[in-house]
Amino acid sequence: MINSESESAEATILVVDDSPINLRLAAEYLEAKNFVVLVAQDGESGLQRAKYARPQMILLDVLLPGIDGFETCRQLKADPQTQAIPIIFMTALTDTQDKVKGFELGAVDYITKPIQQEELLARINTHLRVQALTHQLQKQNELLQQQATELQIARQKAESACRELLRLVNIDGLTEVANRRCFDQHLQAEWRRLAREQAPLSLVLCDIDYFKSYNDFYGHQAGDNCLKQIAQLIARLAKRPADLVARYGGEEFAVILPNTDAQGAMQVAKLICSGIEQLNIPHAKSRVSTVVTASLGISCQVPNRETSVESLIAAADRSLYTAKKQGRNNYKLYDAIFSCPK
């Protein structure tokens, strides 16, 4: 804020007036008040000096030779390099329309000739204070915008980190399908939703046949690769947005099929059963095939108050047990058993 002689020492004032006497008097007075003063006797030279020196303020006479003060002001405000410089008109004109025209062109004030020096100093200091406050507000706004941008970036990073954390919490690290925690949450949510809608919910449990023997013979790295391939196959086959494929246990996978009746679930199980066999992963220690196969159990219920998620899981588990007991490499729904299609 400029409110003293010491504070005005760095302020440069450009005085544009065609009267040498007026220029001299203004320069002597303002320099005595510790301003740096530049002078110009016409509009063209005033424009050049303003563009070159970038003063903090311009005192501009209205009546000038060549282009007048109004045109000079218009050109100053049209130039990005000088448009922010405050302009005070100095004039003997007292017509209101002339003053209105000056304000419309962008001047900040008028001072009437003959000029009273104390009034001139007061007006200059007032507008320099306004200019300083404006610059301060602009800097604060720029800082706030920068902080807002940084905050937005930080929030985006935090949201991304949260999404990644949520993904890691819900995804099985080896197979990259949902883990048991995610399975439990998703099944409960779908059970509640379909209980309200009274629509069917199917569950398929899939167990790789003789996987322990596979691991013992081929090694755990091969076993991990086998699990990955099967998990990704099942994920490709159960691809509706609401379907969920999860690693249910060591070599067990589960498929949640909302809004799917028993026939639809059997079709998915059939595709999984045959798809695993068609992967042609060698299994020298299998008792049912020369390649890796799987057994699947299916259950389907319309959720209601008399049943529960646990009953749906138990039914699928019983079906899986029966499928394994009756030869493996097949899929079972309740009391019906189906061989895996070749």
- State how far the Cα of 150 lies from the Cα of 333, in Å rounded to an integer: 57
- State how far the Cα of 73 lies from the Cα of 99, in Å rounded to an integer: 13
- State how far the Cα of 141 lies from the Cα of 143, in Å rounded to an integer: 5
SS (H, E, C) 82-121: CCCCCEEEEECCCCHHHHHHHHHHCCCEEEECCCCHHHHH
- State how far the Cα of 24 lies from the Cα of 39, in Å rounded to an integer: 9
Q: Point out the catalytic residue in the list 119, 251, 252, 310.
A: 251
- State how far the Cα of 144 lies from the Cα of 57, in Å rounded to an integer: 28
**38 CB contacts (<8 Å, ≥6 apart)?**
12, 13, 14, 15, 49, 53, 55
Cβ neighbourhood burial of 282 (10 Å; 0-12, 13-18, 19+)? middle
Helix 96-105 and helix 69-78: axis angle, to 10°?
20
Annotated active-site residue 251? The verdict is yes
Taking alpha carbons only, the member of 241, 235, 229 closest to residue 186 is 241
SS (H, E, C) 256-298: EEECCCHHHHHHHHHHHHHHHHHCCCECCCCCCCCECCEEEEE
Q: How many CB atoms lie within 10 A of CB 128?
A: 21
Q: Tell me the β-bridge partners of 112.
A: 91
- State how far the Cα of 18 lies from the Cα of 225, in Å rounded to an integer: 91
The residues carrying an active-site annotation are 251
